[in-house]
Chains A and B, each alone.
Chain A
C-alpha cells in the first residue's frame, strides 16, 4: 500500500493536522514523518535543510524581527519559516553574514526560499493531517 493511500484511509483530525504542522515547522519533514509519509519527509528534510545550509554557508544574511523596514520584516517571516534552523543559524554560520559580495546576497535568498518552501510543506502536512487532502492531491 502506498504512503499516500495510508494517509487517505486514516482518520484525520484537527489535532493531528496541527501537530503535523507544528512538527513540520520546527523540523522540516517531521510533520510528514508523523503522518508516515516517509519519502516526502526525507525529500523535504534534505531539500529545506540543504537550501538553508547552503544559504548560511554562502554567508547570507538572516533577518531579525525588530527592523523598521517592511522588506526586512517580510524577510524575517520568510526566514522564520525554516523553524528550528532559524534559531541555530548563528551556530551554523559562525563567521557571520557577508552580503557585500554576490555570494552572500544569494545566500540570503536561499535561506529565505528554504523558509517559504518549508511553510508550503507545513501547509501540506496540515491538510494531510486533517484528512482534507487526498492521495491524488485534491483538497476535499
Chain B
C-alpha cells in the first residue's frame, strides 16, 4: 500500500485529496444521501478546477 501512495503523480495526489475531503465534507454537512453525493461531486470538481486554474495562473512565474 505504501508503494501505491509513494508513486502518486501530482495530479493523482490532488485528485485523491479532493475526493476524500469532498466526501467527508458531504457527510458532515448534508443529512440526505442524494444531497451528499451531489455536494461531494460539486466539491470534488470545484477542488480540481480551482487547483488547475491556480496552477495555470502561477505557470508564468515558474519560467
B31 touches A113 (CB 8 A): no
Q: Which of A43, A44, A102, A135 contacts B10 (CB 8 A)?
A: A102
B21 touches A54 (CB 8 A): no
Secondary structure of the B side of the interface? helix
- A106 and B27 alpha carbons, distance in the complex (Å): 24
Q: Which residues from A are CB-within-8-Å of B27? A: 39-40, 43-44
Q: Which residues from A are CB-within-8-Å of B4? A: 57
A106 touches B13 (CB 8 A): yes
Q: Which of A50, A58, A137 contacts B31 (CB 8 A)?
A: A137
A50 touches B20 (CB 8 A): yes
Say whether B2 faces chain A, with CB atoms less than 8 Å apart: yes
Say whether A4 faces chain B, with CB atoms less than 8 Å apart: yes
Q: Which residues from A are CB-within-8-Å of B23? A: 43, 47
B-contact 0/1 string along A129-140, CB 8 Å cutoff: 000000111000
Q: Which residues from B are CB-within-8-Å of A51? A: 17, 20-21
Q: Which residues of chain A from 74 to 114 have a CB within 8 Å of any chain B CB?
A: 102-103, 106, 109-110, 113
Say whether B28 faces chain A, with CB atoms less than 8 Å apart: yes
Which residues of B are in contact with A by a Cβ distance under 8 Å?
A: 1-2, 4-6, 8, 10, 13, 16-17, 20-21, 23-24, 27-31
